[in-house]
Amino acid sequence: MEVVFIGSGSVATHLALALKEKGVTISQVYSRTKSNAAALADKLGTSYTTDLSEIYDKADIYFYALKDGSFRNTLKSFDLPDAIHVHTSGSISMSEFDGIATKYGVFYPLQTFSKEKEVDFSKIPICIEAINADTQQKLLDLANLLNSKTYLISSEQRKKLHLAAVFACNFSNYMYDVSSQILEEIGVGFDILHPLIMETALKVQSVTPYKAQTGPAVRFDDKIITKHINMLKNRRDLKKIYKLLSKDIHKRHKKI
Amino acid sequence: MEVVFIGSGSVATHLALALKEKGVTISQVYSRTKSNAAALADKLGTSYTTDLSEIYDKADIYFYALKDGSFRNTLKSFDLPDAIHVHTSGSISMSEFDGIATKYGVFYPLQTFSKEKEVDFSKIPICIEAINADTQQKLLDLANLLNSKTYLISSEQRKKLHLAAVFACNFSNYMYDVSSQILEEIGVGFDILHPLIMETALKVQSVTPYKAQTGPAVRFDDKIITKHINMLKNRRDLKKIYKLLSKDIHKRHKKI
């Protein structure tokens, strides 16, 4: 099987390397930025282009791993070869391919990627959507080749899944960031919180977050909540967040 | 060394079991509630009491692992033996022992405990504070016996550390809970987010949360932010949280 990657960011890099390792031929890499295209092509031992009119047209699957903003423009800028076209985005509808391609779908790895950090695709859920059963099976085959867990997720579901991921990943990370800011004030290194953060994430692998909820808000401990809010007097933004989240947790766990 | 536990909740249970395993004698367990006292005493193969006037008075260290609300009342209700007295709370000042005991301190394991789940004390930071050098060394010895990482943390620091822990643990767990509520709406099981949650927690073990921050808010992706807020139209509380956190992340990462 031959694959072309349109895009050279974190998702493209990790996915292309993982597919190559499983014997898939990566025929070409495209990126608007020459240094990025060259860097990924070099890692993959393949060729690259920065010109959409030079896209290799004999591949079986074209992966679009682009920023959401440049996806639509890229699609408009060249004639898509007769092959399977898939994007890897959590927030773009599959219907963006309507009228442009005939075989298309979505191959969305639900994980947070950094270029430097290695990833193990066998632990990554792949959300698949396809325009027809044949394309769907080809995408499932590809995900199975990576030993990934596969989920059939519609565009409508994927939008909300992406929203859920913002809470589970981006916003929980911001909670860590706030805690690191508080520790800075008292001159204590962030490593003191490492085990607590790991255990909190580990817990919800086996019980629901609802059941795992602890802390002053769920115990309705007004005294501690008031003390904490007072400690945040110089950080109006954090005070607001503390109050809002505590109120919400309280409401959710209140026995009627 | 002989130790008495005042309290029989999660912290008392795990700490007492860990100390016993390292050869420390747990001489007695006290709890106001007979069934709890009996259950823990049974696990430890020791005796229990529900009457503070019957507290064994020959131990070397007394651990107070109580709810913050009952700590002060318990201290007032009996004559403290001449020994070391320590509480295990993140939010109570050491000075609560002033005038009641002469040798005292704090032994605060910074972790989230559930009664059912086993814990490995070698991975738990212990925050220690003591009224004098001799008591401090005894508490360090005890933490070292458990192979825990030890931190000398003052009452003033500990208050803020506890506040930081609320963000890092309780509030990040609530972000998981929100994501599980969103998944429920679309009929997708929460397990699809397990790997993302683990990776998010793992990342900040090696880079700062500031550096690890990803998502639409840090990229200033107004289009996606607006879409997400619209998806939350039936959940006014979550909409508020989404807006507030995104604004804050944006502000923190804005290049001036």
Instruction: Name the residue among B72, B62, B80, B77 with its Cα closest to residue B15.
Output: B62
How large is the average pLDDT for residues A26-34? 97
Picking from B67, B178, B221 by the largest number of A CB atoms within 10 A of its own CB, the best residue to mutate is B178
The ipTM value here is: 0.94
Res. A109 pLDDT band, cuts 50 70 90: very high
Q: Report whether pLDDT(B255) > 90.
A: no
**Chain B residues within 8 A of A217 when measuring between CB atoms:** 170
What is the average pLDDT score of chain A?
95
Q: Report pLDDT digits (tens) over B67-84.
A: 888 999 999 999 999 999
Q: Does the beta carbon of A204 lie under 8 angstroms from any beta carbon of chain B?
A: yes
* Residue from A66, A73, A69, A84 nearest A7 by CA: A66
Of the residues B245, B250, B251, the best mutation for testing chain A's interface (the one with the most A CB atoms within 10 Å of its CB) is B245
CA end-to-end span of chain A, whole Å? 59
DSSP three-state, residue B150: strand
* Residue B126 neighbours by CB distance under 10 Å: 24
Phi, psi (rounded to 5 degrees) for B142 = -65, -45
- In this complex, is the C-beta atom of A78 within 8 Å of any C-beta atom belonging to chain B? no
* pLDDT(B44) > 60: yes
Asked if B195's CB is within 8 angstroms of A125's CB, the reply is yes
Facing residue for B241 by CB, picked from A69, A151, A248:
A248
**pLDDT for res B256:** 54
Nearest to B193 by CA among A125, A208, A11, A202: A125
Q: Contact at 8 Å (CB) between B150 and B143?
A: yes
d(C-alpha A169, C-alpha B199), whole Å: 9
CA distance A56 to chain B (A): 31
Task: Write out pLDDT tens, residues A122-131.
Answer: 999 999 999 9
Of B163, B202, B241, which has the smallest distance from its Cβ to A231's Cβ?
B163
> Closest Cα of chain A to B7: distance in Å?
18
